[in-house]
Structure 1
Amino acid sequence: MASDDIAELVDSLSNTHVGDGELSFKGLGLKLDNAESVEELVQEIEQCQDLRALRLEGNTLGVEAAVAIAQALESKHRLQSCYWSDLFTGRLRFEIPKALESLSSGIMMAGARLTVLDLSDNAFGPDGVRGIQQLLKSPTCHTLKELRLNNCGMGIGGGKILAEALMECHRSSVTAGSALKLRIFVAGRNRLENEGASALAKAFQLMGSLEEVHMPQNGINYAGVIALASAMRHNPDLRVLNLNDNTFTKRGTLAMAQALGHLRNVQVINFGDCLVRCEGAIALAAVLREGLPILKELNLSFGEIKEAAALVVAQAVMDKPYMEKVDLNGNFLGEDGCEGLREAMESQDKAVMLASLSDDEGEPDDDDDDDDDDNDEGEAAANDDCCNGEEFGKENGLLAKEDSPSKCHCPDEVLSFVACPSAEKLLQLGEMTRHLLPEVDMTNPHKAADVLLKVASLYSEKPVIQTTVLETCDMLLRKLLSGSAFQAYTFLSTLLVLMGILQGEGKTKKVPLVAGQLLCLEHAVQQDYFAQHHAYLLHIVLSKNRNALNLCSSSMERLSSALEKRCLDQH
């Protein structure tokens, strides 16, 4: 090593921070190629008798230098924190796993018990994960609390290797008598996609100890999101969930909303740039209304959310005592929608919590459909029946054994009515109308809404028909709205989509809209089973989409009047 290089290294090391057991070489820009180049650094490590944290960020480490450092670490059994981000700039890909294996070996030889491992901003790919695989499986990581692997290019393969290592670590730690309790997991910008995310979800569910999960920009769509949602339900201490810039769409958002309903400690939700859209936003609003008591921040920016759904979200956060920020920027509100949202927040003295709306995308064209390239793997077709049937129920925790469609036997008369409804058939059903209840069991909101609209379409001024239709609608709606807010909002948003009032995803076939359907809703909103917040949801969506009901203007006015009265009763 040239004398001027040694002098430069000595000068750099003079800036090393030592204290409280931390030895820091952070940001020195050292080029550490071989054993000679790290002599002074190794000496500092060896002389630090109580080494607990080693910071090597912002340098570049070769294989030989890593071996020398590893040997120095073999005696540092008190080491707890390894901050090794941005450590391999300019290194060949095959060098990085070898360097990581050496460093891992030194720590394991020492019998150290790590709490923090940060290898972010090292583009090491799946091979890099293999380099730390044995470390992660070893007793050294039984005590790990923070794992940071942001921007490492792990890919699907790396995600699977990482998941397997974490699960093995958990299993061996349980056997050893003290389970792994990882609290913070960071793995943004890693191209994990669905397979990598789903593999990690299994590890998350097994551990059940996560407090922060950061996985933005990983190319995950609804299939991976559903897997992560299921895992989050098993992590009751979760405080921060950041999945920014993945692709939820409706199916993923519904699953995630349902999972959040089981969590009480979440403070920060970042679903920005995730294509949450209107139905998803309404489902999240339901969970906000009933749960998430200490939420502080909600990011639903750039999600193709329209004004009505944004207002429903805003209303749901009004009473959150710890709420500090709600971000709805970059959506489809339009100038009037932005102003309406600001006014709604100001009316409740909550204007300060609303983030800037400066990047709003404006109102989309009326003929825009939400079945673009983001409906991966045929999601647009799947959404024609709103994630139909038992699959939706299982994904979202709605399916009860006693309500399972496979366990219900419907009389032929009822099946005939559902297939081809008529007032005559409805009257002939008599007491058998109760057999319509299994047809609206909430495992399939689309089917439930379709059945309700079929009944309501038979509304007539003839007293006997009118009474039968209204009583049947009451029976169905009493069940549909008696569950959780999530179930009720999911049903109501689906109903509004079928009626052509709210834009949904995919090529959903709208039902022929008739005045009787609106008149049945007018009757329903005045009943005890129809909660005021359900009325608010209908009122805000209808008021922002009145042109969808131009053909039934008289009935629309009656329904609007009933909704306004019910909403005013709330205050």
Structure 2
Amino acid sequence: MASDDVSKLADVLSKTHVRDEELSYKGLGLKLDNAETVKELVHKIEQYQGLRALRLEGNTIGVEAAQAIAKALKHKDQLQRCHWSDIFTGRLRSEIPTALRSLGGALMSAGARLTELDLSDNAFGPDGVKGIENLLKSPTCHSLRKLRLNNCGMGIEGGKILAAALTECHKQSSAQGEPLKLRVFMAGRNLLKNEGVTALAAAFQLIGSLKEIHLPQNSINHLGITALASAIQLNPELSILNLNDNTFSKRGALAMAQALRHLKNVQVINFGDCLVRSEGAIAISAVLREGLPNLKELNLAFGQITDAAALVVAQAVTDKPHMEKVDLNGNCLGEEGSEALKEFMESMDKGDMLASLSDDEGEPDDDEEEDEHEEDNENEEDDDNGVEENVEKEGDENEKENGVSNGESFLTKPQSSVEVESFLNSPSSDKLLQLGEERTLLIQQVDVSDPDKAADILLKISSVYSEQPETKRVVLETINAVFKRLFSGSTLQSYCFLSSVLVLMGLLKGEGKGRKLHVVPSHLRCLEHAVQQEYFPQDHASLLQIFLCKNDKVLKSGGGATHSLWTPGEKVLSRMVSLATSPTVSTTASTKPPNTQCTVPMDTTDKAMEALHLDKGQGT
């Protein structure tokens, strides 16, 4: 090495600093190829007594240099924190595993007990994971609390190797009476995909001590998200969950919402750019209503969420005492929807909580959105078992929680008579009346774990409503029984059911080209009746109200129904606005469309309607 290069290196090394038992070479841009180039560095390591942290990030280390550093580390048994991100820039990928084995072997020889290992921004691929595999399994990592492997190109194979190593570490540490208690896991931008993240989820489920999980940009769809959901609910101390820029779709969003119900310490949720969509946003809103008491930040940006669903989210977050920020940017609110959302948040004195909406994508084009949904469904593996399992487990838990003791399980498919099947295949008032006591079998068909089927049954029953006294009585009694059955579960389950009702009625865009019913006056009459009952929660009535008010065109047309639909529909809108806020409020409904009049107190729900320019019962 030329003398001027040695002098330059010595000058650079002189700028290194020592603090809090830490030796740092961070960001010096050193090109360390061999033993000669690291001579001064090695000397400092050897002379440092009680070294606990070593920062090498931002330099580039070759195999020979790594071996020289490793030789010095063999005597550093107190080393706990290795900040070694971005240390292989410009190196051949084949070199990196060898260098990592040298460094890891030295730590194991020294008997060090690491608490933090950061190897981010080292594009070492699966072979690089093999380079740290033995280290991760060893007693040196039994004490590991933070593991950062962002942007390492691990891929599916690397994810599986990493998961197996963490599993073995937990097994061996548990055998010694001190199980691995990993707190922070970061592995963004690694193309782990479903297989890799599913393997890691199994390890997370076993470890059970995670406080932070960061897995952004890993090309995960609903299958991997569902696997993660099963794991996170077994990590009760979880406070930060960052899954930005993956693909949830409805199935992934529902699975994750179900998991979040079990967690009390979550403070930050980042599901931005995850295609949560409106149904997923409503499911997450349900969880906000019934749990997540410590939430501070919620990111649902760029998720193809419509304005009405965004307002449902906004209503839910304003009740959170520690909430600081909600990000709904880049969704499909449109100009009016964006302004309405801002006005609502300001009306609740929460204007500062709402992030910028500058990148809103405008109201979605129905044809384009439907095509995108269909394409997503074609590209995703058609396997719903994971989500269905979670739903069934939840239904079973809720059955126990709510003291269901009549021997009937929500999960056991009830026997159905020929008459019940006949009614469901072709509903009519005569068939419903003829069921008599067999209406019990019809009600038993309603399963909290299958919101789509439950919604279909409810609307079929509602469709035969009439003002004929006996028909009216039987329909409303049956409707009451159905709603009570569905509302006996969690808020998440009942919100999912109401979402399915809205999708079937054409008031909420669902995924794919699902069947939609023609909205008829009897549907609206039955909903009007239901929201007046004690069993119908106020926030559930508010959810219906928002979508009914935002979709007056659908109600007017009824998907082909006659103009007479609008008059009862209009009255229901007026009554729902008041009933959602106070059952004693008087309403005055005009029979002249489209300017329905309604006088209601200015509380949370009415402020939402005012923000949507729907106060006094007006449609959009």
Kindly indicate whether the alpha-carbon contact (under 8 Å) linking 1:403 and 1:441 is maintained by their aligned counterparts in 2: no
The superposition leaves residues 420-445 of structure 1 with CA deviations (integer Å, 9 ceiling, x where unpaired) of 22212211111111112331112211
Code of the aligned partner of 2:448: M
Whole-angstrom CA distance in 2 between matches of 1:382 and 1:438: 28
Aligned counterpart for 1:420 among listed residues 412, 420, 426: 426
Matches within 5 A, 1:311-350: 311-350=311-350
Match of 1:399 in 2: 395
Code of the aligned partner of 1:236: P
Whole-angstrom CA distance in 1 between matches of 2:572 and 2:491: 22
Kindly indicate whether the alpha-carbon contact (under 8 Å) linking 2:293 and 2:320 is maintained by their aligned counterparts in 1: yes
User: 1:374 Cα shift?
Assistant: 8.2
Match of 1:220 in 2: 220
Match of 1:544 in 2: 550
Matches within 5 A, 1:36-55: 36-55=36-55
Whole-angstrom CA distance in 2 between matches of 1:382 and 1:361: 29
Whole-angstrom CA distance in 2 between matches of 1:72 and 1:395: 55
Kindly indicate whether the alpha-carbon contact (under 8 Å) linking 2:395 and 2:411 is maintained by their aligned counterparts in 1: no
SS at match of 2:372: coil
User: 1:343 Cα shift?
Assistant: 0.8
User: 1:404 Cα shift?
Assistant: 5.0
Confirm whether residue 153 of structure 1 aligns to residue 159 of structure 2: no
User: 1:20 Cα shift?
Assistant: 2.1
Whole-angstrom CA distance in 1 between matches of 2:229 and 2:455: 26
Match of 1:65 in 2: 65
The superposition leaves residues 358-379 of structure 1 with CA deviations (integer Å, 9 ceiling, x where unpaired) of 1111111233334527854637
SS at match of 2:161: helix
Match of 1:535 in 2: 541
Kindly indicate whether the alpha-carbon contact (under 8 Å) linking 1:332 and 1:361 is maintained by their aligned counterparts in 2: yes
Whole-angstrom CA distance in 1 between matches of 2:495 and 2:461: 20
Match of 2:480 in 1: 474
Match of 2:247 in 1: 247
Aligned counterpart for 2:578 among listed residues 555, 562, 565: 565
When residues 382 and 34 of structure 1 are mapped into structure 2, their CA distance, relative to the original with a 3 A threshold, is closer
SS at match of 2:147: strand
When residues 415 and 405 of structure 1 are mapped into structure 2, their CA distance, relative to the original with a 3 A threshold, is farther
The superposition leaves residues 293-314 of structure 1 with CA deviations (integer Å, 9 ceiling, x where unpaired) of 0110000001000000000000
Task: Structure 1: give runs of 5+ residues left out of the alignment.
Answer: none
The superposition leaves residues 358-402 of structure 1 with CA deviations (integer Å, 9 ceiling, x where unpaired) of 11111112333345278546378969xxx69x9525357433285
Matches within 5 A, 1:7-18: 7-18=7-18
User: 1:415 Cα shift?
Assistant: 2.3
Whole-angstrom CA distance in 2 between matches of 1:544 and 1:301: 21
Confirm whether residue 503 of structure 1 aligns to residue 509 of structure 2: yes
Provide the alpha-carbon RMSD of the alignment.
1.7
The superposition leaves residues 202-259 of structure 1 with CA deviations (integer Å, 9 ceiling, x where unpaired) of 0111000000111111100110000011100001000100000000010000111111
Kindly indicate whether the alpha-carbon contact (under 8 Å) linking 1:526 and 1:562 is maintained by their aligned counterparts in 2: no
Whole-angstrom CA distance in 1 between matches of 2:336 and 2:272: 22
User: 1:403 Cα shift?
Assistant: 2.8
When residues 381 and 556 of structure 1 are mapped into structure 2, their CA distance, relative to the original with a 3 A threshold, is farther
Match of 1:439 in 2: 445
Code of the aligned partner of 2:274: C
Match of 1:105 in 2: 105
User: 1:513 Cα shift?
Assistant: 2.2
Code of the aligned partner of 1:129: V
Whole-angstrom CA distance in 2 between matches of 1:139 and 1:37: 31
SS at match of 2:580: helix
Kindly indicate whether the alpha-carbon contact (under 8 Å) linking 1:381 and 1:506 is maintained by their aligned counterparts in 2: no
Kindly indicate whether the alpha-carbon contact (under 8 Å) linking 1:247 and 1:374 is maintained by their aligned counterparts in 2: no
Code of the aligned partner of 2:490: S
Kindly indicate whether the alpha-carbon contact (under 8 Å) linking 1:144 and 1:182 is maintained by their aligned counterparts in 2: yes
User: 1:555 Cα shift?
Assistant: 1.9
Code of the aligned partner of 2:422: S
Code of the aligned partner of 2:395: L
When residues 310 and 349 of structure 1 are mapped into structure 2, their CA distance, relative to the original with a 3 A threshold, is same
SS at match of 1:280: helix
Match of 2:141 in 1: 141
Confirm whether residue 267 of structure 1 aligns to residue 267 of structure 2: yes
Kindly indicate whether the alpha-carbon contact (under 8 Å) linking 2:173 and 2:180 is maintained by their aligned counterparts in 1: yes
Q: How many residues align?
A: 567
Whole-angstrom CA distance in 2 between matches of 1:232 and 1:528: 35
Match of 1:286 in 2: 286
TM norm structure 2 = 0.89
Match of 2:568 in 1: 555
When residues 303 and 396 of structure 1 are mapped into structure 2, their CA distance, relative to the original with a 3 A threshold, is farther
Match of 1:355 in 2: 355
Aligned counterpart for 1:461 among listed residues 445, 467, 470: 467
TM norm structure 1 = 0.96
Match of 2:296 in 1: 296
When residues 374 and 412 of structure 1 are mapped into structure 2, their CA distance, relative to the original with a 3 A threshold, is closer
Match of 2:233 in 1: 233
Whole-angstrom CA distance in 2 between matches of 1:229 and 1:32: 43
Kindly indicate whether the alpha-carbon contact (under 8 Å) linking 2:21 and 2:52 is maintained by their aligned counterparts in 1: yes
Confirm whether residue 494 of structure 1 aligns to residue 500 of structure 2: yes
When residues 239 and 371 of structure 1 are mapped into structure 2, their CA distance, relative to the original with a 3 A threshold, is farther
SS at match of 2:241: strand
Match of 2:593 in 1: none
Code of the aligned partner of 1:194: N
Kindly indicate whether the alpha-carbon contact (under 8 Å) linking 1:282 and 1:490 is maintained by their aligned counterparts in 2: yes
Task: Indicate the larger mover: 506-515 or 392-401.
Answer: 392-401
